[in-house]
């Protein structure tokens, strides 16, 4: 494969798992007007821009001695950089269906597939919010965002008299506002950062920093996901742990987590809120695609073979969690 595949757009998928990849990767990379982010044409143009950026970046990193992009003279077949340049995009359905390069810590498209895998796991663990009964059935006010039992997406009630809604299964069910529901699990997201001098040995820093993930065990969580990122900024290494926690109501969160800037506690984790939390936790690093190539190669070599993503508790199970 010594050529660049010419991808042709088929359609823009609108599932939750597709939107979470765009929230975590596409929108942070390409400046988006959030009011227009759902326009298909803008999503397609942004995807084409990221494809061009990634293809140029692979050659740039190869020229700076990125080991994963080097081709061994005695090895026959396509060069590794060719697979990277033709990695199948997943923000938009495209043809041809080329093989993923599987360099997920660098490739924005493979990172998006990793985000979708985390989303599938977290979404399966959280109870279906549409089936959570409200303690008191109330009449929704005009314009109240509600969830109809048996469905998994928000609805807007236009008329005060609308007490029931025809659901996908053909039955009319009572609708209730999100605020009136009792959620059996709450959601916590937090990002803990550490800054080190650029003169320090990055591989040692990554090894020691990854060990600090165990601090999460001070929380009585039901499920947890941790994603570690490394960035280079102004002659400093910025290492981050991004946490997503599934906890029971009333769980005590240590001060070392709750007082960190960016800490969020969500007591109404609807499916859309969970999707946004996964996107925040698994946000793609812009510096991987736009930063100093020399420092980016140092980062890629330092994190090679390291475990930068961890799942705990019920997120490690494949079945729905039920207690």
Phi-psi region of 241 (alpha: psi -120 to 50; beta: other; left: phi over 0): beta
53, 61 Cβ separation under 8 angstroms: no
pLDDT on residue 158: 32
235: left (phi over 0), alpha (psi -120 to 50) or beta: left
Which residue ranges in the chain fall short of pLDDT 50? Answer: 1, 133-140, 143, 146-163, 168, 318-323
Does domain 186-316 sit in CATH 3.30.70? yes
| Domain chopping of the chain, boundaries | 8-124, 129-180, 186-316
What pLDDT does residue 83 have?
87
The DSSP-derived string for 143-176 is T-EEEETT--SEEE--STT--EEE-TTS-EEEEE
Q: What is the pLDDT of residue 137?
A: 43
Distances (CA, A) of 64 to 198, 199, 298: 18, 19, 10
**Phi and psi angles of residue 276, each rounded to the nearest 5 degrees, phi first:** -65, -35
Give me the pLDDT at residue 97, please.
Answer: 87
Q: What is the pLDDT of residues 284-322, one digit of tens each?
A: 999 999 989 999 999 999 998 888 999 999 998 644 433
- CA distance linking residue 94 with residue 268, whole number of Å: 36
Of 306, 276, 296, residue with least CA distance to 106:
296
Q: What is the pLDDT of residue 306?
A: 87
Cα–Cα distance list, 214 to 23, 53, 115, 221 (Å): 28, 36, 22, 13
Q: Are 131 and 181 in contact (CB under 8 A)?
A: no
How far from 234 is each of 82, 237, 239, 291, CA to CA, in Å?
A: 32, 8, 14, 11
Question: What's the pLDDT score for residue 78?
Answer: 74
What's the predicted TM-score (pTM) here? 0.82
């Amino acid at each position: 494969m010594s050529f660049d595949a010419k991808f042709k757009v088929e359609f823009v998928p609108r599932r939750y798992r597709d939107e979470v990849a765009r929230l975590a990767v596409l929108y942070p990379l390409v400046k988006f007007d959030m009011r227009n982010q759902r326009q298909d044409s803008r999503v397609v143009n942004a995807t084409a821009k990221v494809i061009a950026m990634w293809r140029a970046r692979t050659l740039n990193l190869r020229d700076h001695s990125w080991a994963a992009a080097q081709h061994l003279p005695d090895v026959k077949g396509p060069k590794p950089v060719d697979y990277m340049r033709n990695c199948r995009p997943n923000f938009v359905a495209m043809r041809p269906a080329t093989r993923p390069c599987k360099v997920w810590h660098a490739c924005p498209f493979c990172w998006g597939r990793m985000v979708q895998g985390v989303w599938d796991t977290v979404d399966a663990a959280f109870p279906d919010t549409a089936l959570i009964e409200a303690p008191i059935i109330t009449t929704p006010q005009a314009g109240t965002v509600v969830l109809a039992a048996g469905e998994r997406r928000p609805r807007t009630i236009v008329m005060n008299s609308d007490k029931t809604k025809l659901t996908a299964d053909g039955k009319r069910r009572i609708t209730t506002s999100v605020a009136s529901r009792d959620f059996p699990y709450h959601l916590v997201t937090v990002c803990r950062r550490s800054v080190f001098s650029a003169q320090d040995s990055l591989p040692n820093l990554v090894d020691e920093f990854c060990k600090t993930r165990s601090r999460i065990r001070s929380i009585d969580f039901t499920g947890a996901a941790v994603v570690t990122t490394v960035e280079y900024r102004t002659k400093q290494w910025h290492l981050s742990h991004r946490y997503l926690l599934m906890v029971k109501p009333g769980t005590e969160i240590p001060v070392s987590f709750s007082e960190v800037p960016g800490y969020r506690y969500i007591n109404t984790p609807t499916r859309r809120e969970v999707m946004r939390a996964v996107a925040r936790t698994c946000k793609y690093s812009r510096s991987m695609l736009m930063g100093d190539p020399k420092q980016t190669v140092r980062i890629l070599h330092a994190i090679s073979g390291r475990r930068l993503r961890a799942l705990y508790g019920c997120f490690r199970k494949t079945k729905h969690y039920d207690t």
